[in-house]
Chains A and B, each alone.
Chain A
Amino acid sequence: MNSPTMASTVVEAGQIDGSYLTDGFTIRSWLLTTDHKRIAVLYLASITMFFFIGGIAAALVRLNLIVPEGLLGSAEAYNRLFTMHGVVMVWFFLVPAVPVTLGNFLIPLMLGARDLAFPRLNLFSWYLFILGGAVTLWALFAGGVDTGWTFYTPLSTTYSKGHVVLAAVGIFIAGFSSIATGLNFIVSIHRLRAPGLTWYRMPVFLWSLYSLSVLLVLATPVLAITLLLVVLERIFHIGVFDPAIGGDPLLFQHLFWFYSHPAVYMMILPGFGVVSEIIPAFSRKRIFGYKFIVWASVSIAVISFFVWGHHMFVAGTSLYSAVLFSILSYLVAVPSAIKVFNWLGTMHKGYIRFDAPMLYALGFIGLFTIGGVTGLWVAALAADVHLTQTYFVVAHFHYIMVGGMVSAFFGGLHFWWSKITGRMYPEMWARVAALIMFIGFNLTFFPQFILGYLGMPRRYFSYAPEFQVLNVLSSAGATILAAAYLLPLAYLVWSLLYGEYAPANPWGATGLEWQTPSPPPTVNFIQTPLVTQGPYAYPPPETGRERHV
C-alpha cells in the first residue's frame, strides 16, 4: 500500500539479509550484473567521469577567455576544447544523466517491480554507452575535433582536420544505448506497474521518464542517420551536404536540429520529474495540478519535434518557415510555464523544510525560469537576429541545462542518495554546496547575457578588448562553480564510508521506493506492493515527522 505506515510492515515482513550492494563483491558480479540498481551505479560512475572531463574542458575554455588575445595561445587548442566540452557534456552527461542513473535505479522501484522489462538489454546498453564513450574520448584525446558539437557542414565533412569520423562513430554507438534505454523504460512502464498502480497513480517522475523515452526512441535514430551521412560524405565524398559536390549545407542543419532540439527536452524533462518529487516531499503536500503537470510533459515531448527551425532564423531558410517556427517555439514554452506555476502552487500552504534536495529544487525553479524567459527573447524573430550565435544564446541554454538540469540532477542525487547507498550525506555540507552552486552559476552565466547583447560571438578564441571585464567576471564565477561541483564529490564519497546509516524512508516521503529498505534488496520488494491511492498522499505534518530519528 502506498502509505508510510504500511512501509514499516513491508520491511519487517521481509526479514532481509543484505542488500543489492552486498549481493556479490567480485568485479565480475558488477560487470555482468543484470540488476537495474547495480547498472545504475555503473552508469553513475561513468557519467561522473564524463562530467568531470567535460568540466575540465569548460574550465580551460573559461581560463582562455580571461584575456582578449586568448590565454592558451592556440586557437586550435581552444576550438578543440569547446568541441570536447560540448560533445562530452551533451551526449555523455546531460542527455543520459538522470535517466540512466536515477531512472534506471528508481523506475522498477517506483513501479513496484523486480527489475526493468529487459534486464540484459539494460546491461548491454551500458556497454554500448561505454564503447561509444571510449571511441569518442579516443577521438578527443588523439587530437580532437574542431567543428563544435554541432558538426555543421561543409566544415565537418570537407574542411575540418579533426577526427570527425571517429567522434561521429562514438556518438552513433552511444545513440543506440539511448534507444535501448528508452525502449526498456517504455515497456517497463507499460507492463510492470504494480497491482493498483494505474497511470494516474504514477508519480510525475515516471511520466517524465516516459515522455523522455518516447523522445529518445523517436529522435535518436535521426541523429544516427545524420552522423552516418556525415561520415559517408567525409570518407567517400558522396554529395549530401557539401554544395561543391552537389549537396545542400542547410539539409544538415534541418536533420541535426530535428534531433537536437528534442534533445534539449530530453535533458530537461527528467529534471522536471525529479523536482516534481522533491517539492511535494519537502512541502508535505499533494502536488498541485497533477494532471496538468503530467500532460504538460507529454505535450512538451510532442511539440518539441516541431520547433527545430528556430535554430535557423538567420541561416537562409524561408521567411514563412521562420514565422511558423517562431510561433511553435512560443507554444512549446507554455507547458514549461505551467509547470513552474504548479510547483509554486504546491508550496502554497505547505509545511516547507529546507533540506539540501529542496534547496536544489528551489534553485532549479529560479534558474530554469531565467533560462525560460530568455528563451522568449530568442523566439522573437527580430530579437533573435541580433542575439543568436552570441553569448546570449550560450547563457540561455546553460541556464536551462546547467542551471536547470544539473541542479535537478544534484537535487535528485541527494534525495535518493540514502536509497542508493544506504547512507546519509552530511546535510550541512550539502546545503553549503547547493548555495555555492547557485551563486557560482549566476556569476558565471549572467554576465554572458550582457556580452551577447553587446554582440560578442560564440566560439571566439580571442575577442575585442571591450568584452574583457564581463569575461573575467564570468571566469571568476566558473571557479566558484567548479568548487561547488567538487564539494559534493568529496562529501558524497566520504558518506559512503562514514555516513550515518539511512532508514528506509528518511524524508517521510510517499512512493513505493521508500517502502523497501535502504539500500534495497536485490529483489526490490519481498512482497509485491499493492497501490490503493494516488501519489503524494502526504499526511498532515503532526504524523508526518518521523524523519529525524
Chain B
Amino acid sequence: MAIAISVKSLCKRYNDIWAVNNISFDVQKGHCFGLLGPNGAGKTTTIEIMEGIISASSGEILYQGHQVDHQISQQIGIQFQHTALQDFLTVKETLDLFSSFYQTTVEHEKLIDMCDLSSFLTRDNRLLSGGQRQRLLLALALINDPKIIFLDEPTTGLDPHARRNFWLLIQNIKAEKKTIVLTTHYMDEAEQLCDDIVIMDQGKIITAGTPEALLVENFNEVFIYLPKVQVPDVHIKYYQWKVRAERVEIISTNVEQTLSLLINLGIPLQGLQVKSANLDDLFLKLTGHTLLGS
C-alpha cells in the first residue's frame, strides 16, 4: 500500500510545554487514519502541522515523499474543530465563495446531494443546527475534490443521531478511496471509521496499529458486570473483583467457567452484562486514565 503522508520525528513546543513530542507515523493512501487521545493529547496540534496551518518546532511532514508547501492547499480538504464562517452569507453563497478559491472543484449539485444540504441552501449559515453546520463544513472540505481530507473532531458536540449520520457521510467518502485523517476522542467513532489508529497522550504516541489488532494484542479477556447489591462483599474480597460505579467488574478469560462459578456461589445473574474490551479500555490499560474522563 502506498504512503500518502509521512510524519517524521515531529515536535511542537509552546514555551516550556511539548504539545507534540517526537512522533512519527505513516498514513496509508485510501485509509481512514485516526489520531485518538483525550483533550490536550496533542491531536489538534499534530493535524494542524500536517495541514500546514502551524509550523513544527522540528521534524518533517512528507506528502507522497515531498515536503509540504502552500500548493498543498489545492489538494487537501480541511474541517477544523472550531471554525466560523463569514456572517450573513447563505449556505449556497458560502459554497460559491469557497469554490472560487480552487482550480478544481466538485459540482455543487453533487456536493449538495452528498452532504444533504438541499433543504437549507438559502439559509444564513449562522442559523444552522449543529449537524447541518458540520455537514456544510464537510462540504467545504470536499469542495476541491481533495485527495486527502483532515477532519478534526468533526462530531464533537453533536447529538447521537447527528453523529451517526455524519459517520455515514464519512463512510461514503471512504468508499471513494480518499485518504482521511481524523482526530477524535470517541472510541466508538474510531472503531467505526478508522482503518489505522495512533493513540496519543501528553504529546506522545503510546500505541499504533489497526483497532482490531491492538485489542487482540492487549486483551484476551472479557468484562462481566453485575449489580453490586447482588454480590456479597466476602466474595468480592476473596476473588479480588473490582467495584466500579455500583457494579462489580469481573475480568474473565473463560466466560463459561466464570458463569459456573457465579451460579455455584449462589449469586443471582439478573442484570448481568458481558462486554469485550474497546479502545477506551485499551487507553485505560496503557495510561491508567480514560479517554473521555481525563
Q: Do A and B come from one complex?
A: no
* A interface residue numbers (CB < 8 A to B): none
* B interface residue numbers (CB < 8 A to A): none
